[in-house]
Chains A and B, each alone.
Chain A
Amino acid sequence: MKSLKAQLHPISEPSFGLDLLEKSFPIDSNSSFKQKLTEIRLFPLQSTSIDILQINLGKMCNQVCKHCHVDAGPDRKEIMVRETMEYCLDVIKTHSIKTIDLTGGAPEMNPDFRWFVESIRAINPLATIIVRCNLTIILANPKYNDLPDFFEENRVEVVSSLPYFTAMKTDSQRGDGVFDKSIRALQLLNKQGYGVPGSGLILNLVYNPSGAFLPGSQEGLEIEFKKKLKEKFQIQFNSLFAITNIPISRFLEYLIRSDNYESYMEKLIENFNPAAAQGVMCRTTISVGWDGYLYDCDFNQMLELKVDSKDSQHISEFNYENLSQREIVVKNHCFGCTAGSGSSCGGTTA
């Protein structure tokens, strides 16, 4: 499967999705995200701090998942260069940011990935370094087989997507054969100590619905995943993060193609939760694009909505004070993070 961009699909243009979300039923001026925030006196939404620097190392990936908001895949060539990583390291050196969250694409496919992780660890021995690993990359090529060793050496936390504990649902979202490879990779990570109680090596899984519905209770899903993965495959992990699919990019294309767009948006709006809005991740995060530009979150990054901080839109001009007091750029796709129990890269927020 090709990326939307390679297909020259109109949804690969951020303006297409933004226009649709701003103008189309069921959203009008009375039910817009801004209006909802205004009603609960949260507009404009303000940043409260910068606890997380989420860095997208590129859109290249060995998988082509049907819901991917990055539209990542083997045909995407955009990757972060070492010069941009050095700007990130300057920021990490100068400011005490608690969590460095590396994402992609498959971040491990960036040729400077290992150098970058080692450099972050050398600068800040105490920071939480997260790698969003798609699991199959560990088996994709012999040069990646030692990633579990590398992760352990650098005390990296691994966060991996596994939409379900059966092949049918996982493969329908992430591609044929992905489930079996993911299980083998999880077993290798467990062998390394990841996800094993007492090891100190953290392995968290991400659940997101394989279709046009919202995730149920994160707690209930975690219990079910732990039970089934242990029974069937002797796999252990620490926590399950339930994440809502955001209506942009490939998931938006699926919603439109399957005639689920209106009902899905209605569901997000109906389930707007003020507590989840208070706790949205963007208030404590800066997202860095592969080219160094700064965004409020990975979704705004894909929609090319840069931070509203005129003097500090690129990592090379990072101004902590201004960025930590910025107004978050919100649009109607933000309903995805405020529905039900809320959604963030670390799971529910309310």
Chain B
Amino acid sequence: MKTYYNPDDLKKFGSITNLQKSMGDKFFSYYGEVFKEGALTAREKSLIALAVAHAIQCPYCIDAYTTDTMEKGCDEEQMMEAVHVAAAIRGGASLVHSTQMINKIKEISM
């Protein structure tokens, strides 16, 4: 069955450089640099990536960073809390816009 997303396509990610080498190489070099141990640990970065993966609803990233966070020793509770952070920001982003709605209500109401 054809689907838009195929888990095996994640393995082909590196081949995006075939169509545009210099930009692709720069991206992967940058990507590698971002996830190195730094002011944040590699573990903390992996949990952020897992949360972002859920916020942007990327199935490839969810697979990749579920595995990566587990490899880095995170447990299910920590991972779920990270997803709740994403959910809270997404939900909050909707709700905080209600201030605009409230402003408009006030503007057009007697």
Contacts and interface: CB of A to CB of B under 8 A. Distances in A.
B73 A213 contact: no
Interface in B26-46: 41-43
A216 B76 contact: no
B75 A166 contact: yes
Contacts of B77: 166
A232 B77 CA distance: 16
Interface residues of A, number: 16
B56 interface: no
What is the interface of chain A mostly: helix, strand, loop, or mixed?
Answer: loop
B71 A168 contact: no
Contacts of A225: 73
A241 interface: no
Report which residue of A166, A209, A217, A225 has the largest number of chain B beta carbons within 10 angstroms of its beta carbon. A217
B98 interface: no
Contacts of A217: 42, 72
A220 B41 contact: yes
A214 B73 contact: no
A272 interface: no
A213 B67 CA distance: 7
B23 interface: no
B88 interface: no
Interface residues of B, number: 11
A279 to B, nearest CB: 21
A251 to B, nearest CB: 16
B75 A215 contact: no
Contacts of B42: 216-217, 220
A209 B74 CA distance: 11
B16 interface: no
A166 B74 CA distance: 11
Given A220-B41, A220-B42, A220-B43, A214 B72 contact: no
A220 B71 contact: no
A164 interface: yes
A24 to B, nearest CB: 18
Contacts of A220: 41-43, 72-73
Given A217-B42, A220-B42, A224-B43, A209 B72 contact: no
Contacts of A211: 70
Contacts of B43: 216, 220, 224
Contacts of B73: 164, 207, 216, 220-221, 224-225
B96 to A, nearest CB: 34
A169 B75 contact: yes
Interface string A58-99: 000000000000000000000000000000000000000000
Contact of B71 (A164, A169, A216): A216
Interface in A156-213: 164, 166, 168-169, 207, 209, 211, 213
Given A209-B70, A213-B67, A213-B70, A164 B41 contact: no
A213 B76 contact: no
Contacts of A166: 75, 77
Interface in B65-98: 67, 70-73, 75-77
A290 to B, nearest CB: 33
Contacts of B70: 209, 211, 213
A209 B71 contact: yes
A214 B77 CA distance: 19
A168 B67 CA distance: 18
Interface of A: 164, 166, 168-169, 207, 209, 211, 213-217, 220-221, 224-225
Interface of B: 41-43, 67, 70-73, 75-77
